[in-house]
Amino acid sequence: MNLAPKYAYYPGCSGQSTSSEYEVSTRAVCRALGLELAEIPDWSCCGSTPAHTVDHVLSAALAARNLVLAKEAGFDTVVTPCPSCLTNLKTAVHRMEDPDFMDKVNKLLDRPFHGGVQVKSVLQVIFEDIGPARLKAMVKKPLSGLRLAPYYGCIMNRPPDVMQFDDPENPISIDKLMEALGAEVAPFPLKVECCGASFGVARKDVVTQLSGKLLQMAETVEAQAFVTACPLCQMNLDLRQGQVNMAAKTKHNLPVFYYTQLIGVALGLAETDLGLDKLIVSPRGILARIGQKQPAAANQ
Amino acid sequence: MKIGVFVCHCGSNIAGTVDTAKVAEAARQMPEVAFATDTMYACSEPGQAGVVQAVKEHGLDGVVVASCTPRMHELTFRRTLERAGLNRYMFEMANIREHVSWIGKDMQANTRKATDLVGIAVEKLRRDKPLTAKKFDICKRVMVIGGGVAGIQAALDMAEGGLEVVLVERSATIGGKMAKLDKTFPTVDCSSCILGPKMVDVSQHPNITLYAYSEVESVSGFVGNFDVKVRRKARYVNWEACTGCGLCMEKCPSKKAKDDFNEQIGTTTAINIPSPQAIPKKAKIDPEFCRQFTKGKCGVCAKICPSGAIEYDQQDEVVGEKVGAIIAATGFDLFDYTRYGEYGGGRYPDVITSIQYERMLSASGPTGGHIKRPSDSKEPKSIVFVQCVGSRDKSIGRPYCSGFCCMYTAKQAILTKDHIPDSQSYVFYMDIRAPGKNYDEFTRRGMEEYGTQYIRGRVSMIYPQGDKYIVRGADTLLGTQVEVEADLVVLAVGAESSKGSPELAEKLRISYDAYGFFMESHPKLKPVETNTAGVYLAGSCQGPKDIPSSVGQGSAAAAKVLSLFSRSQLESDPQVSMVDIKRCIGCGKCIATCPFGAIEAIDFRGQPKAQVIETVCQGCGICTATCPQGAIQLQHFTDNQILAEVNALCQQALEVNFE
């Protein structure tokens, strides 16, 4: 008999493309932790950023289609790694608590949505269903000597009424998980600040400024790397770090990990399963030093 | 019976949406109505004179006035009837304002409903009997609950007026919030210098009994005769013997106890006196931190105490007090600033509350009157004040303005410049609310003479950067985002109702609002009364107030009690329950159900019977509904009267249906 908790898994589009390392590491870590993910058959885009700016009903319908598929496949919980997908799926469920709104959405759907599905982030499932204590017991390679800046981004926990997970101003789930892995977590005050999000396309100056602030703060608190849970945040901090350096005449060189990658490292998973080679700012130096010496900041 | 009906216009309040002449005309057709008219203002002098005249001219036996709520004018008209020579209980009121004209705009429907209500009142009045009030003695002692400035003022005023006062205070010293302040606005005089002597007066006044570190456990009885049980919490020190010398504090090895008086800035010893100005100046032990209690051995204070006052085995003690009136002056609590996660209060050591800042400014405070950052004890040069933390914010359930934060922030900014001349203060504000005497001038002085920089806009986030804090907010006058670098951030926390207010309100049988503040009887005309006779309010327990208002209310409540006690006897309301001894089977159901303990069992010729204690009965009627025999009846609200009212209404409904 298989007692592993089973979840309907919604990978999201960026997991298939720009953040494939998040996708593979999420799958690998969940497998290692005994969380069984069953990909929703025939899932489609949740509407991402554009849909809800145009039409709330359309946006909810795009998300609800995936929820209906999950329900039909026999699941009551959908998990997704991407905070943007999470927001769309959760907002859809939240809005459809209003029967009038649900009616409008169902007019757009071939097969109607009638609730009975909850949505969680993979982070929430790992934090709540596994928990730091159990995770700690499974660590094979403690991340000692690694001082991290935990960065949640602006939508993982907000708005609190919809997301209903962790603190909207000072979330601690990634902090606790990283501590369980043996890493040191720097007091990072900009945990939920905006990185500039998709402005990278339209207004690069906005992103270089906002992400630049985050990078600067990470260095101020003497973190050696970022740990994030959002593909867009990761991209802005990692891929655009060079642009930030150019714009602000700085020399940041901070690797930006997904929290799943670091859990994977600590659990001793194979590097190829974690997509570490996909990171733009190379984490090699830092990963090599893990477990070798005390963090720089602790000596001061 | 000859009944007179008066339908009031109340200006346009009623006449605007009710055809009062038509209601009066309909009333003339009602049984036993000998006279009916409409009148402009029934409660006015000519209005009342009209009633008196009609009674005399038409030989009326009873009067119905259709106007506003009985809460407003029932007593007025009862007095009018007495002037006309009738029994004051031969009067009924139909509420056609709150129940009709103010809630509907349909003239026709309103007129019909008003007529129905008048019909009901007439049917009830036909069965009214003259009632006579009984007189009873009153106990001329008074209890004040809460020893803040409002409670102190009330206690002193009444003690000076010759009353015996029992002052009950929850914490170990009186003085309340005001005692914790360094200076007061707008005069910038020393708070403890003006309050201190009053606190001493309380302790020395022969008419005042002070129960500090005590709480009201239960209240029973009624105006003139309350029985209050007060729990005197165990202090583990005999206060009769304690001289307040403070030797125990010097020697106590446990120095980690919470220092409530200093708002947790710093700690105190497990045995402690709250402050040098404490009244009573007596020590108490905090058992959570005392080694004798936690580890079972220490006993240093017992060894050192020159008067042998330490009693580790002391227990809570409940004392009973008989009083004729009660003043609630329980004050307010400050908003829990940690609820604003984005401000980081509680997480960042240098984000503090205004009252903590006040303790820092105070010479008797934990820093000796020097402004220091809690994190590194450095003197801050840039101080940011954030207003409306827990005020005017619907999202955290505090939509009301706390009223005094604008002013104390202005004061603290001025004091900051006095303490650190090369400092710069910034105030983030929504509006400046400074309506008191000399208040606006004071805030202007802060801006113009002391250079406090005011920024209009809310703060969105506070975060540390290096050893500074970045306060990010909007400047809504410039229409831009601003960031201010601060060494210290002071959150101007708003007020909320004192902890345990709803529970106390239930003990006192008074109302409280959605936020836990006690409700006054009338917001304009009865600001210190409650709807429970003999219970009065003073100070911030009723809503946030500054010192002048609290003191004013303390004196007002005292005046109310003094005038209540100026009579030697009070009249009881005769609208109480009465037992028909022939019908009563002595089952005791009424005794069990009465919430006021107003019914007792008696032996009547060998049979158990119920008897109502008239002065205790509140006229709620629960017993009437309970009695299986219909033997106990509420005077003026008998079963017959209520049935007659229902019949009057149903008769109308039946007629409408058959049309």
How do residues A7-20 score in pLDDT, each as one tens digit? 999 999 999 999 99
Residues of chain A in contact with residue B339, where contact means CB-CB under 8 angstroms, are: none
Q: How close B393 gets to chain A, by Cα (Å)?
A: 17
Range of the domain at A236: 131-286
Span B414-420, average pLDDT:
97
Q: What is the pLDDT of residue A201?
A: 87
> Could you give the CA distance from residue A13 to residue A16 in angstroms, rounded to a whole number?
5
- B468 to chain A: closest CA residue: A220
Span B219-224, average pLDDT:
89
> Could you give the CA distance from residue B562 to residue B558 in angstroms, rounded to a whole number?
6
The three-state DSSP-derived secondary structure of B50-83 is HHHHHHHHHCCCEEEEEECCHHHHHHHHHHHHHH
Give the tens place of pLDDT for each residue, B428-440.
Answer: 999 999 999 999 9
> Does some domain include residue A248?
yes
What share of chain A has pLDDT > 70, as a percent?
96
B345 touching chain A per CB within 8 A: no
> End of a domain among A101, A120, A139?
A120
Instruction: Supply B521's token pair.
Output: 């009887």
Span A170-192, average pLDDT:
96
Interface test mutation site (partner A, options B343, B350, B463, B483, max chain A beta carbons within 10 A): B463
Cα diameter, chain B: 93
Q: What is the DSSP string of A48-80?
A: HHHHHHH-HHHHHHHHHHHHHHHHHTT-SEEEE
> Could you give the CA distance from residue B200 to residue B208 in angstroms, rounded to a whole number?
11
Interface test mutation site (partner B, options A154, A161, A170, max chain B beta carbons within 10 A): A170
Q: What is the pLDDT of residue B338?
A: 93
Q: What residues contact residue A266 under an 8 Å CB cut-off, 6+ apart? A: A139, A140, A141, A142, A143, A181, A182
CB contact under 8 Å between A220 and B342, yes or no, is: no
Mean confidence (pLDDT) of chain B: 95
A1 has a pLDDT exceeding 50: no
Claim to verify: residue A153 and residue A249 sit in the same structural domain: yes
Q: Which amino acid is at B54?
A: A
CB contact under 8 Å between B464 and A187, yes or no, is: yes
Strand intervals (E) in B466-505 = 468-475, 480-486, 488-493, 495-497
Claim to verify: residue A161 and residue A233 sit in the same structural domain: yes
> Does some domain include residue A298?
no
Q: How close A299 gets to chain B, by Cα (Å)?
A: 17
Q: How close B344 gets to chain A, by Cα (Å)?
A: 8
CB B369 within 8 A of CB B361: yes
> Could you give the CA distance from residue B384 to residue B345 in angstroms, rounded to a whole number?
14
> Does some domain include residue A42?
yes
CB contact under 8 Å between A169 and B464, yes or no, is: no
Span A83-92, average pLDDT:
95
Claim to verify: residue A272 and residue A141 sit in the same structural domain: yes
CB B552 within 8 A of CB B539: no
| Angstrom distances, CA of residue B25 to CA of B7, B111, B460 | 10, 11, 64
Of B131-135, B145-149, B563-567, the one with minimum mean pLDDT is: B131-135
B341 touching chain A per CB within 8 A: yes
CB contact under 8 Å between B466 and A167, yes or no, is: no
Q: What residues contact residue A187 under an 8 Å CB cut-off, 6+ apart? A: A221, B464
Span B313-339, average pLDDT:
96
> In chain A, how many domains are there?
2
Span A235-240, average pLDDT:
95
Picking from B158, B151, B152, B162, the residue whose alpha carbon sits closest to that of residue B198 is B152
CB contact under 8 Å between A167 and B341, yes or no, is: yes
Q: pTM for this one?
A: 0.86
Q: What is the pLDDT of residue A299?
A: 42
CB B556 within 8 A of CB B538: yes
Span B160-166, average pLDDT:
97
CB contact under 8 Å between B465 and A189, yes or no, is: yes
> Does some domain include residue A136?
yes
Using CB atoms, pick whichever of A167, A170, A189 lies closest to residue B464. Answer: A189
Indicate which CATH number applies to the domain containing A49: 1.20.1050.140
Other residues' Cβ atoms within 10 Å of the Cβ of residue B325 = 26
Interface test mutation site (partner B, options A151, A158, A163, A169, max chain B beta carbons within 10 A): A169
Claim to verify: residue A208 and residue A139 sit in the same structural domain: yes
Using CB atoms, pick whichever of B341, B463, B466 lies closest to residue A168. Answer: B341
Claim to verify: residue A176 and residue A257 sit in the same structural domain: yes
Q: What is the pLDDT of residue A300?
A: 39
Q: How close B467 gets to chain A, by Cα (Å)?
A: 10
CB contact under 8 Å between A169 and B342, yes or no, is: yes
Residues of chain B in contact with residue A187, where contact means CB-CB under 8 angstroms, are: 464
Q: How close A277 gets to chain B, by Cα (Å)?
A: 33
**Residue written as token pair 């997991």:** A15
Strand intervals (E) in B269-311 = 271-272, 284-285
Side-by-side strand order, sheet with A184-185: A184-185, A147-151, A225-228, A256-258
Indicate which CATH number applies to the domain containing A180: 3.40.50.11810
A294 has a pLDDT exceeding 70: no
| B381 alpha carbon, distance to own chain's centre | 41
How many CA atoms lie within 13 Å of B597's alpha carbon, on the beta-carbon side?
6
- A170 to chain B: closest CA residue: B341
> End of a domain among A91, A120, A149?
A120
Instruction: Supply B555's token pair.
Output: 């004196």
Claim to verify: residue A111 and residue A197 sit in the same structural domain: no
Claim to verify: residue A143 and residue A281 sit in the same structural domain: yes
Q: What is the pLDDT of residue B597?
A: 83
> Could you give the CA distance from residue B447 to residue A236 in angstroms, rounded to a whole number?
43
Which residues 436-495 of B have a C-beta within 8 angstroms of A?
463-466
Other residues' Cβ atoms within 10 Å of the Cβ of residue B218 = 12
CB B308 within 8 A of CB B290: no
φ and ψ at residue B38, rounded to 5 degrees: -105, 150
> Could you give the CA distance from residue A127 to residue A33 in angstroms, rounded to a whole number?
11
CB contact under 8 Å between A169 and B341, yes or no, is: yes
Give the tens place of pLDDT for each residue, B352-365.
Answer: 999 999 999 999 89
B173 has a pLDDT exceeding 80: yes
CB B475 within 8 A of CB B481: yes
> Does some domain include residue A100?
yes
CB B528 within 8 A of CB B537: yes
Span B633-648, average pLDDT:
94
Q: What is the DSSP string of B203-237?
A: HH-TTEEEE-SEEEEEEEEETTEEEEEEEE---SB
> Could you give the CA distance from residue B549 to residue B537 in angstroms, rounded to a whole number?
12
Q: What is the pLDDT of residue B656?
A: 63
B503 touching chain A per CB within 8 A: no
CB contact under 8 Å between B463 and A170, yes or no, is: no
Span A149-161, average pLDDT:
94
Claim to verify: residue A205 and residue A115 sit in the same structural domain: no
The answer to whether the Cα torsion of B414, B419, B423, B428 is positive or negative is: negative
B302 burial type by CB count under 10 A (0-12 exposed, 13-18 middle, 19+ buried): middle
CB contact under 8 Å between B463 and A189, yes or no, is: yes
Q: What is the pLDDT of residue B596?
A: 80
Q: How close A161 gets to chain B, by Cα (Å)?
A: 11
> Does some domain include residue A293?
no
Picking from A172, A187, A186, A179, the residue whose alpha carbon sits closest to that of residue A135 is A179
- B464 to chain A: closest CA residue: A189
Claim to verify: residue A215 and residue A80 sit in the same structural domain: no
> End of a domain among A120, A147, A173?
A120
B344 touching chain A per CB within 8 A: yes
Residues of chain B in contact with residue A167, where contact means CB-CB under 8 angstroms, are: 341
CB contact under 8 Å between A189 and B344, yes or no, is: yes
CB B309 within 8 A of CB B242: yes
> Does some domain include residue A126?
no
Claim to verify: residue A115 and residue A151 sit in the same structural domain: no
Helix (H) or strand (E) holding A162: helix A160-163
| Angstrom distances, CA of residue B586 to CA of B116, B581, B591, B626, B638 | 39, 9, 10, 13, 20
Give the tens place of pLDDT for each residue, A198-211.
Answer: 898 899 999 999 99
Claim to verify: residue A233 and residue A137 sit in the same structural domain: yes
Give the tens place of pLDDT for each residue, B446-467.
Answer: 999 999 999 999 999 999 998 9
Q: Strand pairing of B141-145 and B325-328?
A: parallel
B347 touching chain A per CB within 8 A: yes
Claim to verify: residue A255 and residue A232 sit in the same structural domain: yes
Q: What is the pLDDT of residue B657?
A: 63
Using CB atoms, pick whichever of B340, B463, B466 lies closest to residue A190. Answer: B463
- DSSP code for B337: G
- B460 to chain A: closest CA residue: A169
> Does some domain include residue A292?
no
Residues of chain A in contact with residue B464, where contact means CB-CB under 8 angstroms, are: 187, 189
Which conformational region is residue B106 in: left (phi greater than 0), alpha (psi within -120 to 50 degrees), or beta?
beta
Span A248-265, average pLDDT:
96
CB contact under 8 Å between B347 and A170, yes or no, is: yes
Please give the interface size between A and B, counted as residue pairs whose CB atoms are below 8 Å apart. 18
Give the tens place of pLDDT for each residue, B489-528.
Answer: 999 999 999 999 999 999 999 999 999 999 999 899 999 9
Helix (H, G, I), strand (E, B) or coil at B288: coil
What share of chain B has pLDDT > 70, as a percent?
99
Q: What is the pLDDT of residue A3?
A: 55
Q: What is the pLDDT of residue A49?
A: 83
Interface test mutation site (partner B, options A217, A219, A222, A300, max chain B beta carbons within 10 A): A217
Interface test mutation site (partner A, options B465, B471, B485, max chain A beta carbons within 10 A): B465
Q: How close A190 gets to chain B, by Cα (Å)?
A: 7
The model's confidence at residue B616, banded by pLDDT at 50, 70 and 90, is confident
Residues of chain B in contact with residue A190, where contact means CB-CB under 8 angstroms, are: 463
What share of chain B has pLDDT > 90, as a percent?
91
- A220 to chain B: closest CA residue: B466
Number of residues that this document lists for chain A: 300
Span B20-26, average pLDDT:
97
A298 has a pLDDT exceeding 50: no
